Structure 1
Amino acid sequence: MDDERYETGLANRKAVLGEAHVERSLAGAGAFAGPWQDFVTRTAWHDVWNDEALPWKTRSMIVLTITTTLHREEEFKLHLRPALKNGVTIPELRALLIQCAVYAGVPAANAAFRWVREVLGDEADALAAPGDG
């Protein structure tokens, strides 16, 4: 069962974050952090992301909300492009960040808007629908 959890989790992790990123994480773990990578793969990517109660788009939006709220820049940036791949639109992303400003604070949302610009650059403007705000 643990091998199945790991393999499914690994497949989910690669599908969301990209094979190159995951392979770098695993290769760089070494003996000390190897068990941590196993834990993350089995728990986050199998037990959580494999649960069909929420679609990946929703999970991506939750991750972006939490990482904005907790000011986790690295994790926000890591999950931004995968969120778009999972179906989150630029207008939805903008609305998510504005809602974070109300509930988590303007500085948190301000930082996240900056992170979007750092990761996507002008692509964020190009993906925004004309007249959507």
Structure 2
Amino acid sequence: MTDRTGATGPGDDERHQDGMAVRREVLGDAHVDRAVAGTTPFTAEFQDLITRYAWGEVWTRPGLDRRSRSMITLTALVAGGHWDELAMHVRAAVRNGLSVEEIKEVLLQTAIYCSVPSANRAFRIAQEVLSDEGLV
């Protein structure tokens, strides 16, 4: 049986609450509010999964700081070609304290290990996001 958050087992509600707090800190209230408002009965369990596991389990672990997690996430998104998510996580990286220079260095690294074409697209996306934020 699930509760109002879609949680199904012991501790799931707490992970959901912890995950939502981190999700808001990293992505910002406006983004999370849009995602929550756009949740439908069809997508509710997926939103709960993201909140509990990505944000409530992984992003809350003590082994890496959020800056490091942001660098890893940017790299993984470039490697996978997840361009919409990349834009969101460039914003998150700034919120997590990465400088424009550090974001540039992460993307340069991806050119070698993920591909030059992927890095080219990532630079275009990051440029647009950072310009929108008034950072470049």
TM beyond 0.5: yes
- 2-side partners of 1:15 and 1:30: how far apart? 23
Shift of the alpha carbon at 1:111? 0.5
Runs of 4+ in structure 1 over 6 Å off: none
Contact map agreement 1:64 1:79 (CA 8 A) in 2: yes
Number of aligned residue pairs: give it. Answer: 125
2:47 partner letter? Q
Q: Which has the higher helix share?
A: 1
Partner of 1:45: 55
For structure 2, the 5+ residue unaligned runs are 1-10
Contact map agreement 1:8 1:46 (CA 8 A) in 2: yes
- 2-side partners of 1:28 and 1:81: how far apart? 20
- 2-side partners of 1:5 and 1:121: how far apart? 35
Alignment of 1:1-133 (within 5 A): 1-121=11-131, 123-125=134-136
For structure 1, the 5+ residue unaligned runs are 126-133
Deviations 1:8-28 (A, max 9, x none): 000000111111211211121
- 2-side partners of 1:104 and 1:114: how far apart? 16
TM-score computed with the length of structure 2 as normaliser: 0.87
- 2-side partners of 1:10 and 1:49: how far apart? 11
Question: What percentage of residue pairs aligned between the two structures are identical?
Answer: 43
1:56 partner letter? R
Per mean C-alpha deviation after superposition, the further-off stretch among 41-50 and 83-92 is 83-92
Shift of the alpha carbon at 1:92? 1.3
What's the Cα RMSD here?
1.3
Change (3 A) 1:124 1:68: farther
